[in-house]
Amino acid sequence: MRSLGPRRTRGEASTGPGRRCRSGGLIGKWLLAYAEGVADDVFKALADPTRRAILDELTEKSGQTLFEICSRLTMKHRLGISRQGVSQHLAVLEAAGLVETRREGRYKFHDLNTTPLRQIAERWLVPDPSGPQESTP
């Protein structure tokens, strides 16, 4: 039988990746695991075509409410998805860091954040030591 890790008593908190201790800092060795987990979250968020359509809409017009996003998805992309479904997709995108939200009164606005995408792209960019080369036809 496979062990699922140490048993916790009632009231003990899990200290998995991204978990914070009471002082607010990341816990010990999980710092490295959390940094890698961010890329995983971004790839998982981008794997779904509905979430990619939401990101496309936020690219065209940032700062949309849930109602505006639902309307644009229905009219432009012919997606028959409920407000609750779009809200859940936005939660996944927000957890991955691709969408940021701000509240103004009773409205919640969603903005695109491309920083996680840049971090992933920069991870695999290899600097060319010879500089730019001319291409010959």
- 109-137 residue pLDDT tens: 999 999 999 988 888 877 777 766 666 66
Is the pTM above the cut of 0.85?
no
- 57-113 residue pLDDT tens: 999 999 999 999 999 999 999 999 999 999 999 999 999 999 999 999 999 999 999
Angle 17-19-23 from CA coordinates, rounded to 5° = 140
Q: What pLDDT shows up at residue 134?
A: 65
In terms of Cβ atoms closer than 10 Å to its own Cβ (0-12, 13-18, 19+), residue 103 is exposed
- If pLDDT is split at 50, 70 and 90, which confidence band does 11 have? very low
d(CA 89, CA 51): 6
Q: Is the pLDDT of residue 10 over 60?
A: no
| Tokens describing residue 109 | 């606005």
d(CA 110, CA 62): 7
Q: What pLDDT shows up at residue 31?
A: 45
